[in-house]
Chains A and B, each alone.
Chain A
Amino acid sequence: MEKKATRESYGEALVELAKKREDLVVLDADLAAATKTGTFKKAYPDRFFDCGIAEANMMGVAAGIATTGKLVFASSFAMFAAGRAYEIIRNSIGYPHLNVKIGATHAGISVGEDGATHQCNEDIALMCTIPGMTVINPADDVEAKAAVLAMADFEGPTYMRFGRLAAPIFNDKDTYKFELGKGIQLRDGDDVTIIATGLMVAEAMQASDELRESGINARVINIHTIKPIDRDIILKAAKETGKIITVEEHSVIGGLGSAVCDVVSELCPVPVKKIGVNDTFGYSGPAVDLLKEFGLCASNIVAVTKEFLGK
């Protein structure tokens, strides 16, 4: 399967977007080469502004630009966007509900060799707590591009999470349609539901395929919009399969798993098993190996599912 990092998709989508949105402005904080806004910078140098290594100011500048009606994307690594600039996003973007799109790359453990200081496993949790913030975590190139283009037409603060590691492209670009707040069922099954997001969606599908060989039919749902989350698809899965496993490249505290638990605990309590980063910091290493170390891979999903089902 062809692979591409969703950060690459992000950069390419911005160039695509600029063709139809003359008011598009892109900001970065000295990471354009890595976040891939550099692709946009090369194509539209007059609409790209480097803010230097100053994420707090960048988010404020984005807020100011948004008040004048232009479409603005602000980019950095997830750690420095959602993390360092959290309070600026909360007070200068979230509170006035400004139309700023935050494109955060290098999310999760798959940052790899840079290690814990750069591996942000808390961004979804942080962003979801801000009232009115939309939080998107696309799974592959097709979804990432479609999400960027769709969110450009959506009015309101949005946090978009992209990855560094090349991810398998499993969606069909000719038929895929991004629908904000709508989960996508990718595998049928009634024994258990695996709800995944971002980089983990492809792993979840692979796990489901392997489980099927052992006679376990695991439904797979891709949640690209963590907030507002698709309650209907989750409740349907809870009712029909009775057990849920969540998989995310994020802390098990405050991410997809927590969001799913919030839904089912109130409306259809079922056992939920969360796979994610277990309240610990990451460390250096090749991304693919790290994902295995943290159990963020198909084989561990298979093992956890079997244990969860007592098989």
Chain B
Amino acid sequence: MDATLKKQMEITATKVRMGIIEGVYNAKSGHPGGSLSVADMLTYLYFAKMNVDPANPLMAERDRLVLSKGHTAPALYSVLAQRGFFPEEELKTLRHIGSKLQGHPVYKKVPGVDMSTGSLGQGISAACGMALSGKISDDYYKVYAVLGDGEIQEGQVWEAAMFAAHYQLDNLIAIVDNNGLQIDGRVSEVMSPYPIDEKFRAFGWYVITIDAHDFNQIEKAFEEAERVVNQPVVIIQKSIKGKGVSFMEDNVSWHGAAPNEEQYNKAMEELKAHLAELEK
């Protein structure tokens, strides 16, 4: 990746992380851990990859993203706000009565959200439907589905995996955010989904494995994915839950908890310092 672009991505992703903390802190609830782990990927997709137009969020030919791991809505909202779909200030209304920023994303309510999600395992099926529809009418948009590594314990994910390979949906790219943690503990201990790569391969997918927090690898993954024909692609990204906030990293207690004022200040200080470093 071009060094300037990489710097830009890192700066934007840091701002996205600040938006996540801002939202969850003001909501006094929400899911910061998995939001922070997927922040770099969502940043790359919305700022370097996807054909979207904040002025026309339902543009027919747009690329679509389904946040199948819908509980990490704070990350999606923060990226969409950074990208100009709605004012950043609105992130503070997350989960408040009357806010369009519901606890889980709602289609047509939030500009830029392409599907309502939140009940795990369902988003990937909707993404398959979007991809199939594109194939039927020769539309050239791409569909991205972002899943959690705990989420893939849901059987519906594998129904969808079978479907996507059967109909050769090469306009579909799934991303599995492999941060290794779910509410009850380590995914390997709760109900191991491993080996994730071999499972998808067995289901007929083209598999790419990357470091979730390295923009060079993210860019290369999509370059590789573009070359795949007649097969859906899954990018399994090894990530760190809570990435970017020291005390949240790889700590399961930050799956679904909001920081108190002291923790909020500490998190924001860390992120601001990181931003200042990047902007130097």
Contacts and interface: CB of A to CB of B under 8 A. Distances in A.
Interface of A: 23, 25, 46-47, 49, 51-52, 54, 56-70, 72, 87-88, 91-92, 95-96, 98
A54 B10 CA distance: 41
A68 to B, nearest CB: 4
A82 B263 CA distance: 46
B136 A61 contact: no
A248 to B, nearest CB: 30
A143 B126 CA distance: 31
**Quick one: which of A54, A60, A63, A95 has the most chain B CB within 10 A?**
A60
In the A-B complex, the 5 residue pairs with the closest CB atoms: A64-B129, A60-B125, A57-B159, A54-B159, A64-B126
B153 interface: no
Contacts of B160: 57, 60-61
Interface stretch (B89-97, B110-118, B247-255): B110-118
B106 interface: yes
Interface in B116-137: 116, 118-119, 121-134, 136-137
Given A49-B167, A63-B126, A57 B115 contact: no
Contacts of A63: 115, 125-126, 129
A54 B114 CA distance: 23
Contacts of B168: none
A67 B122 contact: no
A91 B118 contact: yes
Contacts of A49: 132, 167
Contacts, number: 110
A283 B179 CA distance: 48
B222 interface: no
Contacts of B156: 54, 56-57, 60, 88
A127 B37 CA distance: 37
Nearest to A66: B129
Contacts of A64: 66, 115, 125-133
B199 interface: no
24 contacts: A51-B163, A54-B159, A56-B121, A56-B122, A56-B156, A57-B160, A60-B122, A60-B125, A60-B128, A61-B126, A63-B129, A65-B130, A67-B114, A68-B60, A68-B129, A69-B60, A70-B133, A72-B129, A88-B122, A88-B125, A91-B116, A92-B116, A92-B119, A96-B107
B129 A67 contact: yes
B71 to A, nearest CB: 13
Contacts of B50: none
Contacts of B123: 60
A58 B133 CA distance: 13
Contacts of B159: 51-52, 54, 56-57
B151 to A, nearest CB: 13
A96 B163 contact: no
Contacts of B137: 23, 70
B268 interface: no
A67 B129 CA distance: 9
A25 B147 CA distance: 27
B275 interface: no
**Quick one: which of A57, A59, A95 has the most chain B CB within 10 A?**
A57
Interface in B23-64: 60, 64
A60 B66 CA distance: 12
A147 to B, nearest CB: 24
A65 B160 CA distance: 14
Contacts of A66: 129
A69 B167 CA distance: 20
A61 B118 contact: no
Contacts of A70: 133, 136-137
A8 B27 CA distance: 52
A69 B139 CA distance: 12
B156 to A, nearest CB: 4
Contacts of A23: 137
B108 interface: yes
Nearest to B105: A96
Contact of A47 (B119, B136, B167): B136
Given A54-B162, A68-B134, A96-B115, A59 B125 contact: yes
B84 interface: no
Contacts of B106: 95-96
